[in-house]
Amino acid sequence: MSCNLCGSKNIDFLFYSQNTHGRYILDKKNDFLVSGCQDCGLIFLPEIVINEDYYKKYYEQGYYNQEGKKGNVILNKILIFISSFSLKNKQRIISKITDTPDKISILDIGCGAGAFLSYLDSKKFDKTGIEINNEGYEATKIQGINVFNQDISEVNFDGKKFDVISLWHVLEHIKEPKLLFENIKKNLDNNGIVIFQIPNTRSIGFKYGEKNWFHMDSPRHLMLYNIKSVKKLCEITGFEIISIKNEFYDYPLDLFWSIRKSPIKFLIYPLYPFFKIFSKEHLTFICKKI
């Protein structure tokens, strides 16, 4: 067995995980082997086979609406408010770091049901999406957004280059991250940037939650990263990290649910806001090609 990122054979078995999505266990029947590379820090599921059956089984109909159907009304309203704040802040970040007098051309890979793209100001952004899931593709298309139901390697953009390519909790779903970043590089303008948010395995939630980590999401999350492994990915594919942001307000209860079965919860829960901010359960990276 070797690391799919750096090629190292210095691999350790970590634990077995179940089919989970956020705080929910979807299926207790199957266990998935979770391994870690001691050289680059990548955490991955080495035994998963990606094929048509995999997508049918683990990205079933209604996948994009699962969270919205659960929880009480008040909690959902709070989460909607936080989501709106987060989307506004992401737009601000992108506008600030993109130097162009024209509309910002943006490609959102794995755009899901189009929530991020639909929020962006159409007067300031020229928006394009990619979503291989048919349900997400149709939901984005019906909003009038230019969206492709193909892998980025198969899309013909007619020579168009993008100022920004974004991936919001998408990279962890990808089996071949180096190939993805090579394709991103091809489709970025010379001064373009790639911005992406991922779960961070150097966090309290992962350390003490392990298979119960909110962002484990086995077997959909094939590879899980931290700063060290992202640096390695960028080094291999010709990118440079220019900024790392801690958008702690996203997934406000992820740490809470991650440690629910660990004794450490009795220390963390009373001071939850403090630990939530500094745990960095997920991170946003802004990179430029070199």
- Give the model's pLDDT for residue 67: 47
Instruction: Characterize the bridge pairing of strands 43-44 and 146-148.
Output: unpaired
Residue 201 near residue 27, CB atoms below 8 Å: no
Separation CA 214–CA 256 (nearest Å): 9
Residue 238, token pair as written in the block: 């010709």
- Give the model's pLDDT for residue 81: 87
Q: Is residue 4 assigned to a domain?
A: no
Separation CA 31–CA 27 (nearest Å): 9
Residue 225: phi and psi, rounded to 5, are -120, 170
Separation CA 241–CA 193 (nearest Å): 10
Count helices and strands in the chain by DSSP H and E runs: 10, 11
Q: Which residues, 6 or more positions from 285, have their beta carbon under 8 angstroms from its beta carbon?
A: 195, 196, 197, 198, 230, 241, 243, 244, 245
Q: Is residue 158 assigned to a domain?
A: yes
> Which one-letter amino acid corresponds to residue 169?
H
Q: Is residue 215 assigned to a domain?
A: yes
3-state helix, strand, coil in the chain (%, to 5): 35, 30, 35
Q: Give the dihedral sign, CA 66/64/215/210.
A: positive
DSSP at 82: H
Residue 179, token pair as written in the block: 């190939």
- Give the model's pLDDT for residue 6: 95
Q: What is the mean pLDDT of each run of 10 residues along the chain (290 residues)?
A: 94 95 88 96 95 88 53 76 92 90 94 95 96 93 95 93 97 96 96 96 98 96 98 97 96 96 97 97 96
Domain that holds residue 73: 11-289
Describe the strand order of the beta sheet including 24-37 as a list of residue ranges.
11-21, 24-37, 43-44, 223-224
Q: Is residue 152 assigned to a domain?
A: yes
- Give the model's pLDDT for residue 80: 85
Q: Is residue 26 assigned to a domain?
A: yes
Q: Is residue 6 assigned to a domain?
A: no
Provide DSSP, 147-177: EESS-GGG---TT--EEEEEEES-GGG-S-H
| Full-model pTM | 0.93
Q: Which residues, 6 or more positions from 227, have their beta carbon under 8 angstroms from its beta carbon?
A: 200, 202, 244, 283
Q: Is residue 257 assigned to a domain?
A: yes
Instruction: Specify burial of residue 262 (Cβ count, 10 A radius: 0-12, 13-18, 19+).
Output: middle
Domains: count for the chain:
1
Tokens 């991250």 identify what position?
177
Q: Is residue 3 assigned to a domain?
A: no
CATH number of the domain enclosing 235:
3.40.50.150
